[in-house]
Amino acid sequence: MKSKNMLNYGARLKIETLVKGFSYAIGLVGFLSVARETGFIYNLLFAGLCAFATYREYKLNFTVPRWGINIVSVLLIALALIRITQDNMVVPALESLIALLGVKFLEEKRFRDYMQIYAISIFLLAGSALLSLDMLFLAFFFTLIFLITMTVVLLACYSEDSAMELQFSTAVKILSRAFLITLISIPITVMFFIILPRTNYPLLNFLNRASSGLSGFTDSITLGEISDIFEDNTVLFRAKMNRVDDKYLYWRGIVLEHFDGRTWRNIGAPENIKLWRTDLRGERISQSIFLEPYNNRYFFGLDKPIYVRYPRSKGFDDLTFSLSENIMRKIKYDVISSLSDTMPARKEEANRYLQLPMDKHGTLSKIKELADSITGNKKGEAAVNALLGHLTGGMFRYSIKGMPVTKKPLEEFLFARKEGSCEYYASAMAVMLRLSGIPARIVGGFRGGDYNDLGGYYMIPQKYAHVWVEAYIEDKGWKRIDPTPAGSGGPTVKIRKGFMLKLKLFIDSINYYWSVAVINYNLEKQINILGGVMHAFKQPSLKFEMDKKTLAELGLFIIAVPAVLGLLLALLRRKRQTIEEGLLSRFLSVMERHGYKKGRAEGLEEFISKIADNGIRESAAMFVSKFQRFYYRDMKIGKDELKKLDDIIVEAKRRRADSNR
């Protein structure tokens, strides 16, 4: 008998030891996930604190005063705040977290302290994901989830009864349950793994209008196809730079020189061998541009960009820069621009910008007549100004709604409707210039930008897309001409003020920092897979050309969403229980474990009178008489009383073991 008891005792585990041990393990995993990135000093500090805390836990009998720990914690957070800079945010924060975790270990731990340790560990792991994301992250991730799931279960028991001892088999059972929870959570997590790091990628883009009737940057301009343009508020790029005068805010992207009567295209300027154009005068401005993926290959820079620093970027003679493939992920590049509105060029080069389409409908001759009547005898710059005056003089109105869908868009614009978008103005201007013998080309890009003082950058949404004209003026070179009437509500600069803009800019600065943080983070593969799924749904015939992997992911998505929703609902329902109901359900579940189940229509006293075991009935009666006094008198159970009642429940829980012995 005695030996059996001894054996039992040996197989019992103190729950406190378990909770402590696992909590240290959780902290350690959190630490290890970032240890490669954080500074040596901090790693050493953590190791030291950790070792000391473990030693204190088992050998020393003294407690570090809580106020001391709080002061140190505040100092550590302050230190982190001081060290954080815009470019280096993550590492200092993680280092402070590591130190904080080490300090936390020193504490005499209560329930919330354990929870804080877990929270910090999760933060550390999340932080490590910002620095590098490889297979090791997944390993840490699942270890952490597994450990935390299990320890929280143990912690719940521990907080009820700190002296509780667990049978070895029970501990193993909890362990295996926690492992199961982790396993179940894997598919859901994988889903988030795909989506989360790129939440600002327009995931639901497929819901948008399929037509390209959104305002935004395009690499060709076609007139007379779309009657309405919708403003697209998504930010295409952010340019970190000093504030400049609004009149300089022309962002050059592409030059279109070939016109076929309806469409302007880029047919390729000769590549510019000279990397630095020293012949450009004007203030030099450097910008760091954070460009969102946008399915095209052009870099944007403040007009006139003379240098773009990005691997494999190509510069062209017309001062445009591009990659040979589309930009499919967030990139950052540096640009140096010269704020000059003219750009020297030789006349021979300029002459290739006189191309005109064949005059099929007689439109061109009509336009030529108009241009001649406007310019009269004027030549060169004077002629340019005269033509510009015709368009901006007030006869024409800016509009992006109700534009004519026609085969002869320019004729319609110039002679009939006299309203249209910047594309019409620029086309009309360029065609009239060419008809007057002045080389001209269309430049596509953006006009304007919202300056974010908080982050020190310009935010350029798609709706600021704009086209303007460059005309060649002898002895001067290419001169920027914007024929679109200013202040007419178009994408020309609108000075927006007020709270909403400030709020928008503030929110965008968070976005900006996120972009900065994940800029080197390559995820386009995952996004493409998801995009493929979305795309397949977009097809009217719904062709399943997805591979097995995509299908599996889709299936997981379908399973995961209801699962998560169900979980949330269950949590909400749990929350609605009052203290009294919670207490009662705890009591009843303990009784049920003893084999006594209360009927729905059974009163509490009625219920306990049926309990056969004297010991259990005694503690149950004690609970019921105390509980009823509050419950049926509509009185709130005080903290002390709650504790007492909980104690009775705990006692009742152990009754069985006692009577069995």
Residues contributing to the site for other proteins (CB under 8 A): 580, 584, 599-606, 627-629, 631-634
Residue 624, H or E segment = helix 614-631
Min CB(629)–other proteins separation in Å? 7
d(CA 149, CA 156): 11
SS3 321: strand
The backbone region for 164, taken as left when phi is positive above 0, alpha when psi lies in -120 to 50, beta otherwise, is: beta
DSSP track, 399-434: -SSS----S-HHHIIIIII-EE-HHHHHHHHHHHHH
Min CB(596)–other proteins separation in Å? 15
Min CB(604)–other proteins separation in Å? 6
Min CB(640)–other proteins separation in Å? 20
Which pair of structure tokens corresponds to residue 451?
A: 């300056």
Nearest to other proteins of 175, 621 (CB atom) = 621
d(CA 640, CA 651): 16
Min CB(582)–other proteins separation in Å? 12
The owner of tokens 């143990």 is: 154
Which pair of structure tokens corresponds to residue 347?
A: 């006349």
Q: Give me the amino acid identity at 566.
A: G
Min CB(606)–other proteins separation in Å? 5
Give ∠ CA 285-290-296 in degrees, rounded to 5: 105
Nearest to other proteins of 230, 631 (CB atom) = 631
Min CB(628)–other proteins separation in Å? 6
DSSP track, 439-480: -EEEEEEEE--EEETTTTEEEEEGGGEEEEEEEEETTTEEEE
Nearest to other proteins of 548, 633 (CB atom) = 633
Nearest to other proteins of 393, 599 (CB atom) = 599
Strand ranges across the sheet with 450-452: 305-309, 331-338, 284-291, 235-240, 457-461, 450-452
Min CB(656)–other proteins separation in Å? 23
d(CA 131, CA 518): 8
d(CA 661, CA 659): 5
Min CB(644)–other proteins separation in Å? 18
Nearest to other proteins of 211, 625 (CB atom) = 625
Nearest to other proteins of 17, 585 (CB atom) = 585
- Helices 15-35 & 90-106, crossing angle to 10 degrees? 160
Which pair of structure tokens corresponds to residue 391?
A: 């368009």
Nearest to other proteins of 88, 625 (CB atom) = 625
d(CA 18, CA 2): 26
Nearest to other proteins of 319, 624 (CB atom) = 624
Nearest to other proteins of 108, 605 (CB atom) = 605
Nearest to other proteins of 273, 601 (CB atom) = 601
Q: Give me the amino acid identity at 47.
A: A
Strands 258-259 and 263-265, bridge-based pairing: antiparallel
Beta-strand ranges (E) seen in 465-610 are 465-473, 477-481
Nearest to other proteins of 398, 623 (CB atom) = 623
Q: What's the burial of 137, exposed, middle or buried (CB within 10 Å: 0-12/13-18/19+)?
A: middle
Min CB(637)–other proteins separation in Å? 13
The owner of tokens 């409908």 is: 361
Min CB(605)–other proteins separation in Å? 5
Min CB(599)–other proteins separation in Å? 8
d(CA 210, CA 542): 16
Task: Please answer whether residues 282 and 236 qualify as being in contact, where contact means their C-beta atoms are separated by less than 8 angstroms.
Answer: no
SS3 91: helix
Nearest to other proteins of 523, 624 (CB atom) = 624
Nearest to other proteins of 229, 583 (CB atom) = 583
Nearest to other proteins of 503, 635 (CB atom) = 635
Task: Please answer whether residues 604 and 591 qualify as being in contact, where contact means their C-beta atoms are separated by less than 8 angstroms.
Answer: no
Q: Across the chain, how many H-helices and E-strands are there?
A: 20, 22
Min CB(71)–other proteins separation in Å? 47
Min CB(641)–other proteins separation in Å? 15
DSSP track, 598-623: --TT--HHHHHHT---HHHHHHHHHH
Min CB(581)–other proteins separation in Å? 8
Nearest to other proteins of 581, 658 (CB atom) = 581
Strands 419-420 and 397-398, bridge-based pairing: parallel
